[in-house]
Structure 1
């Protein structure tokens, strides 16, 4: 009985020793997960791969998240969703210095792979880093620096990698996932703008594999993954320990600003003072101009982007592109303008009533905007065609009658 117990204790040690002896590559590969930064471009964190060769004295980082913003067509390509990213390799020390300077933490997960699997992965990274291979089309939620790192581990090592489920029973949407980061960093205006531009396709519920487009989710997935039946991660360590930088407080959030505008415009709408009406003429021109510009932007992104994240955007039902043109003549008293604003009132009211049935999560700050549209379109749709003044013909005229003179 004692011999059996001793055998059960010693046998795993022999297996581990045999596995260690089979690794003659002198390679160590690991995944680096960087904490979110303060700027919007870094708010979702970052992922890179590290390869160390103890014999050759190599310690390199392979980073799929580099791009050149000096391209003269950068912003045009960005708008169309044609972002050319590249795989860059440079020293591990340079990588650390960059994130230490930004006060961003770095966590390292060493991968438990055989020597042959590490060599395959290293060879694939070297091949991808060649000038003719290093560039790729970046897509935020389907093909980015994090998914590329995952694919190298899963597809280029030759190991049978299995990712266990890391999502709750009620799977989040893409929008839910990015909201977590935007809310944590108190990026209310960025969240508002992103929600306006992203269509209903971004409200699809993610699969376990799809959730790994975010660095934190890939890190969590590796912790629960297996390679050839054993844990994929051999060990985890915090390389750079940096306390999170408290986000700057936005005193004026979209919700607060739009609620204040709604209260002011509603009160002035019931006033007969000339200065109030003049103010509303200017306000309506600027307000509907801004709404129209956004409507045109929504339609443009829907059409020209090569990906699908801006398509099927239901915000266009209240942010009508036609507002852009009407804004320049909003102060005129024309019957067709009255009809236009009556239609706008009905469309906006219908959109508001169907809020919970729209297959797209609409930002809550849109509600006071809808309220402003309802109030101003109601009053614009019910303005008289012209002011009428009644005067009397002098008594010395025969059959004197009251006549109406159009001003």
Structure 2
């Protein structure tokens, strides 16, 4: 969801939430010509009864935050290994930036073309955006040849600013996004480290 989803909504906008409509309908009263009040809803009937409670929908598996942290640890360890051995490990870049690009395409489509008022603007597009896919071939070509990638430099700057200004971004972003952003940042930084030429 975009930043508008975090803003307070009006009473009219609350009517788009089925549970709120049900609550207001149950308490609504109609006044007749004689001034006598009668309830708008006299009875309720559940059409579909699942027999399940909220506890039945809770999963006991790994959480998104745990998954993101696990990925962050793996990427960090692999990057440190690659830097020490002088290897680019471009396969990791392919997987990470491809996945981030696909996610970015979905977010961009929702932000640009969806009629839903709560999906735009979405500041997650600073992390996940279609440019990851568009620039992926050129970026990987530079990485494989152990040359500095300008795209990775730009990505490093954008991600650094995104993380630094995390607290003041006018959108409630799940904390699990932070390890994912750090994964992309670390891979971009590794390219600069491996291609850095010390002055002789």
1:303 to 112, 115, 125: 112
Q: RMSD between aligned alpha carbons?
A: 2.7
Secondary structure in 2 aligned to 1:315? helix
Determine if contact 1:286/1:327 at 8 Å carries over to the other structure.
no
Q: Which has the higher contact order (CA 8 A, sep 6+)?
A: 2
Which whole-Å CA distance do the structure 1 matches of 2:171 and 2:130 have between them?
A: 20
Determine if contact 2:76/2:186 at 8 Å carries over to the other structure.
yes
Which whole-Å CA distance do the structure 1 matches of 2:115 and 2:75 have between them?
A: 40
Which whole-Å CA distance do the structure 2 matches of 1:324 and 1:199 have between them?
A: 22
5+ residue gaps in structure 2?
A: none
Normalising by structure 2, we get a TM-score of 0.77
Secondary structure in 2 aligned to 1:382? helix
Corresponding residue for residue 266 of structure 1: 76
Aligned pair 1:247/2:54, yes or no? no
Secondary structure in 2 aligned to 1:249? coil
Secondary structure in 1 aligned to 2:5? helix
Which whole-Å CA distance do the structure 1 matches of 2:50 and 2:193 have between them?
A: 60
5+ residue gaps in structure 1?
A: 1-197, 387-407
Aligned pair 1:232/2:42, yes or no? no
2:157 to 346, 350, 359: 346
Corresponding residue for residue 202 of structure 1: 5
Normalising by structure 1, we get a TM-score of 0.41
Change (3 A) 1:356 1:225: farther
Change (3 A) 1:234 1:211: closer
Q: 1:242-391 counterparts in 2 under 5 A?
A: 243-245=51-53, 246-247=56-57, 249=59, 251-271=61-81, 272-273=84-85, 277=87, 280-328=89-137, 329-330=139-140, 331-332=143-144, 333-335=146-148, 337=149, 339-384=150-195
Determine if contact 1:289/1:325 at 8 Å carries over to the other structure.
no
Secondary structure in 2 aligned to 1:383? helix
Higher helix share: 2
Secondary structure in 2 aligned to 1:227? strand
How many Å apart are 1:293 and its aligned residue?
A: 1.9
Determine if contact 2:65/2:176 at 8 Å carries over to the other structure.
yes
Q: 1:135-214 counterparts in 2 under 5 A?
A: 198-214=1-17
Which whole-Å CA distance do the structure 2 matches of 1:365 and 1:326 have between them?
A: 25
Secondary structure in 2 aligned to 1:209? helix
Which whole-Å CA distance do the structure 1 matches of 2:50 and 2:10 have between them?
A: 31
Higher strand share: 1
Q: 1:22-61 counterparts in 2 under 5 A?
A: none
Change (3 A) 1:357 1:334: same
How many Å apart are 1:248 and its aligned residue?
A: 5.3
Determine if contact 2:25/2:41 at 8 Å carries over to the other structure.
no
Which whole-Å CA distance do the structure 2 matches of 1:304 and 1:225 have between them?
A: 37
Change (3 A) 1:261 1:227: same
Determine if contact 1:341/1:380 at 8 Å carries over to the other structure.
yes
Q: 1:210-221 counterparts in 2 under 5 A?
A: 210-221=13-24
Change (3 A) 1:234 1:214: closer
